[in-house]
């Protein structure tokens, strides 16, 4: 298993962002769904080793990120696209991707080709020498995806990767997800259930820091059938039904 | 696209082996065309640090960029002018404040746009901070010593400010990392040094006393060590509970 989480929690003061999440993931594309404030970003940041858990067990790529050596090894084999991608306006796309390839400790001889491959992969070949400040939001997002995949990661964590992408780019991006999912663990946090339906082999739904559903997209769809839950698409109805059931359960307990 | 032109050009040259992977060829070309050639400083830093990633991070330090260095030189040149004009050790008084500001802007969440991403990189952000802070300190020390020597200051003044500069820089670094704000760090470093100067002056000592009084060396160094410990603690990566 590339990702093993056991009773993982994260608190910020009195707020519990992630509340005892237990999850295992091997190769494949995993959709992480949930409303705003559900704890998706905090969970992804913990898996990206950018945020330590408050309690619980976290093992990534068979290693414990608590120690310096294992954490460094995990980071070499990790790709991460944060929700708010910071960038250096004066860098070109190629500079930006190369910068993170070097910080990921890639062998210098491999960097130039890996950068070119990643940039072509996200369809930014004609913008490789353009400064980041001249790019549109969608192009910046793709530059962010390029830095995440430049090291051919075994664990790829993407927080709202399709935000700002046009429909054509989203289709291409889903193909990229499926390709990486064949050999790596790809975890995608998104609000867009159509991305999940098109690309994900498994879906995890979070609400108020808790994991309230884990299964295949078909299983999530089945939860919505006959439930009368709101939604235009079958997966949206499943999403609404699971959330409603989770919240009514919480309300019943409280 | 260049790739398409390349593909067309290849086809125009006549029949070739049918199994040539043009995508692969193009990637090889693109890798060469888009490749960034590191400058001599980055190459030297890469060899010295044995890490191209650290070297790349070093040459992107905000307070080592050309504009910042030029501003530092201009301030020190003004200090030389004031020193020569008034006879007071202005270079020695200015250099620690300038260095403290530079250290505060070396790295951090308030100044580095890609901070969030940097935290998940194999080359640790703490190591990047350390290397950048040392480089900024070293450059400021060299510029300050040159300016001090050019202003005709006595040897005690020329070298005396290095220890207080260490303390001011350590304070700026500690506050910048603890508050995650380079502005606050720079303000703390500069105002801390100003308070020391004004306090000495209020106590009846000369301005040069804060630099040349050997009795102050131990307190400066102890203060710098404490601030260094704060910075070290503030930039620690908390161990997971796994």
Q: For chain B, state the CA radius of gyration.
A: 24
Q: Could you report how far apart the first and last alpha carbons of chain B are, in Å? A: 49
- Cross-sheet strand order for the sheet of A55-60: A15-25, A3-12, A55-60
Contact of B153 with B91, CB cutoff 8 Å? yes
Output the pLDDT for position B205: 77
The backbone region for A24, taken as left when phi is positive above 0, alpha when psi lies in -120 to 50, beta otherwise, is beta
Report the run of H or E that residue B217 belongs to, with start and end.
helix B217-234
Answer whether A86's CB lies under 8 Å from B117's CB.
yes
Provide the 3-class DSSP secondary structure of residue A233. coil
Provide φ and ψ at B181, rounded to 5°: -140, 110
Alpha-carbon distance of A120 to A105, in angstroms, equals 21
Residue B16's pLDDT is 52
Q: Contact B119/A50, CB-based, under 8 Å? A: yes
Among the partner residues B31, B60, B112, nearest to A116 by beta-carbon distance: B31
**pLDDT for the residue A168:** 87
State whether B6 and B48 are in the same domain.
no
Q: Give the per-residue pLDDT at B107.
A: 74
How far is the alpha carbon of B47 from chain A, nearest alpha carbon, in Å?
Answer: 12
Domain region containing B51:
40-234
Q: How far apart are CA A201 and CA A182, in angstroms?
A: 10
Same domain, B22 and B132: no
Sign of the C-alpha dihedral computed for residues B71, B173, B179 and A55 taken in this order: positive
Among B57, B113, B116, the residue with its CB nearest the CB of A50 is B116
Residue whose structure tokens are 């970003």: A41
| A126 in Cβ contact with B1 (< 8 Å) | yes
- The answer to ipTM > 0.90 is no
Global pTM?
0.85
Domain boundaries, chain A: 3-77+155-253, 86-152
Pairwise CB contact (< 8 Å): B34 & A94: yes
* Residue B236, pLDDT above cutoff 80: no
CA–CA–CA angle B25, B26, B32 (5° rounding): 100
Mean pLDDT of chain B: 84
Across A154-168, A225-239, B11-25, least confident range? B11-25
CB A176 within 8 A of CB A122: yes
Whole-number Cα distances in Å, B152 to A104, B81, B97, B156, B158: 48, 11, 20, 11, 9
Q: Do A116 and B242 touch (CB under 8 A)?
A: no
B28, B30, B114: residue with CB nearest A87: B114
Chain A contact set for B23 (CB, 8 A):
120
| Statement to judge: residues B102 and B24 lie in one domain | no
Residue B239 is assigned to a structural domain of this protein: no
Chain A CB within 8 Å of residue B74 CB: no
By DSSP bridging, strand A185-189 and strand A15-25 are: unpaired
> From CA A238, how far away is CA A247, in angstroms rounded?
14
Phi and psi, residue B69, nearest 5° = -65, -40
Chain A contact set for B113 (CB, 8 A): 86-89
pLDDT of residue B10: 37
Residue A16, pLDDT > 70, answer yes
CA angle, A177 as apex, A214 and A95 as ends, to 5°?
Answer: 130
Q: How confident is the model at residue A130 (pLDDT cuts 50, 70, 90)?
A: very high
The reply to whether B67 and B84 lie within a common domain is yes
pLDDT the model gives residue B15: 47
Cα-Cα-Cα-Cα dihedral sign, residues A214, A215, A217, A220: negative
Q: pLDDT: is A55 or B12 the higher one? A: A55
Size of interface A-B (CB pairs under 8 A): 128
Q: Locate tokens 């910042």: which residue?
A: B68
| Strands laid side by side in the A202-207 sheet | A78-81, A155-159, A185-189, A28-33, A202-207, A210-215
Confirm if A105 and A76 have CB atoms less than 8 A apart.
yes
Does residue B13 sit in the same domain as residue B124? no
Please give the pLDDT value at position A76: 96
A98 and chain B in contact, CB less than 8 A: yes
Residue B167 to residue B217: CA distance in whole angstroms = 10
pLDDT in tens, A58-77: 999 999 998 889 999 999 99
Residues B9 and B80 grouped into a single domain = no
Taking a C-beta distance cutoff of 8 angstroms, is the pair B241, A46 a contact?
Answer: no
Residue B71's Cβ-side half-sphere holds a number of Cα atoms within 13 Å equal to 11
Please compute the mean of the pLDDT values over residues A117-126 and round it to a whole number.
93
Residue A190: its pLDDT value, please? 87
Q: How far is residue A80 from each of residues A57, A158, A201, B73, measured CA to CA in Å?
A: 20, 6, 20, 40
A137-167 b/e (C-beta count within 10 Å ≥ 16 → b): eebbbbbbbbbbbbbbbbbbbbbbbbebbee
| Domain co-membership, B62 together with B168 | yes
Helical pair B182-202 and B162-179, crossing angle rounded to 10 deg? 140
Residue B240 lies in a domain: no
Same domain, B23 and B78: no
| Chain A CB within 8 Å of residue B121 CB | yes
- CATH for A3-77+155-253? 3.40.50.300
Question: Structural domain tally of chain B?
Answer: 2
Return residues 157-216 of A near B (CB < 8 Å): none
Separation CA B84–CA B81 (nearest Å): 5
Q: What is the mean pLDDT of residues B218-238?
A: 88
Report the b/e string of A70-105 with b at 16+ CB within 10 A: bbbbbbbbbbbbbeebebbeebbbbbbbbbbbbbbb
If asked whether residues B179 and B71 sit together in one domain, one would say yes
């Amino acid at each position: 298993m590339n990702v093993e989480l056991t009773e993982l929690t994260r608190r910020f003061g009195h707020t519990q962002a992630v509340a005892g999440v237990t999850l295992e993931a091997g190769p494949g594309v995993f959709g992480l769904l949930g409303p705003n404030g559900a704890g998706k970003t905090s969970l992804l940041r913990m898996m990206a080793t950018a945020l330590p858990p408050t309690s619980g067990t976290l093992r990534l790529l068979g290693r414990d990120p608590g120690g310096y050596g294992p954490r460094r090894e995990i980071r070499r084999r990790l790709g991460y696209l944060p929700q708010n991608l910071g960038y250096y306006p004066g860098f070109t796309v190629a500079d930006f991707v190369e910068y993170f390839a070097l910080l990921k400790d890639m062998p210098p001889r491999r960097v130039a080709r890996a950068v070119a491959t990643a940039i072509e992969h996200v369809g930014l070949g004609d913008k490789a020498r353009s400064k980041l400040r001249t790019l549109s939001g969608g192009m910046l997002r793709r530059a962010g995806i390029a830095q995440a995949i430049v090291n051919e990661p075994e664990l790829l964590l993407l927080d709202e990767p399709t935000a700002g992408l046009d429909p054509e780019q989203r289709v291409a991006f889903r193909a990229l997800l499926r390709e990486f999912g064949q050999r790596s663990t790809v975890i995608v946090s998104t609000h867009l259930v159509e991305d999940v339906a098109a690309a994900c082999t498994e879906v995890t739904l979070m609400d108020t820091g808790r994991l309230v559903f884990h299964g295949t997209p078909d299983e999530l769809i089945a939860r919505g059938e006959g439930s009368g839950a709101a939604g235009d698409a079958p997966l949206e109805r499943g999403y609404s039904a699971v959330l409603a059931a989770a919240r009514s359960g919480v309300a019943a307990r409280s | 696209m260049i790739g398409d032109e390349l593909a067309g050009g290849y086809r125009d040259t006549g029949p070739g082996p049918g199994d040539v992977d043009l995508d692969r060829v193009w990637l090889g070309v693109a890798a060469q065309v888009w490749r960034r050639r590191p400058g001599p400083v980055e190459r030297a830093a890469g060899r010295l640090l044995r890490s191209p990633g650290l070297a790349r991070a070093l040459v992107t330090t905000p307070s080592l960029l050309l504009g910042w260095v030029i501003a530092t030189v201009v301030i020190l040149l003004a200090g030389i002018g004031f020193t020569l004009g008034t006879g007071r050790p202005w270079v020695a008084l200015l250099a620690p404040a300038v260095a403290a500001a530079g250290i505060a802007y070396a790295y951090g969440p308030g100044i580095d746009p890609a901070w969030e991403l940097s935290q998940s990189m194999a080359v640790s952000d703490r190591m990047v901070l350390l290397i950048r802070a040392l480089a900024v300190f070293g450059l400021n020390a060299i510029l300050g010593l040159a300016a001090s020597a050019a202003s005709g200051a006595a040897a005690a003044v020329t070298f005396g400010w290095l220890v207080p500069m260490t303390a001011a820089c350590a304070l700026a670094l500690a506050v910048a990392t603890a508050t995650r704000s380079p502005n606050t760090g720079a303000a703390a470093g500069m105002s801390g040094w100003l308070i020391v100067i004004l306090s000495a002056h209020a106590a009846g000592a000369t301005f040069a006393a804060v630099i040349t009084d050997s009795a102050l060396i131990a307190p400066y160094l102890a203060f710098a060590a404490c601030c260094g410990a704060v910075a070290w603690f503030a930039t620690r990566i908390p161990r997971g509970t796994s």
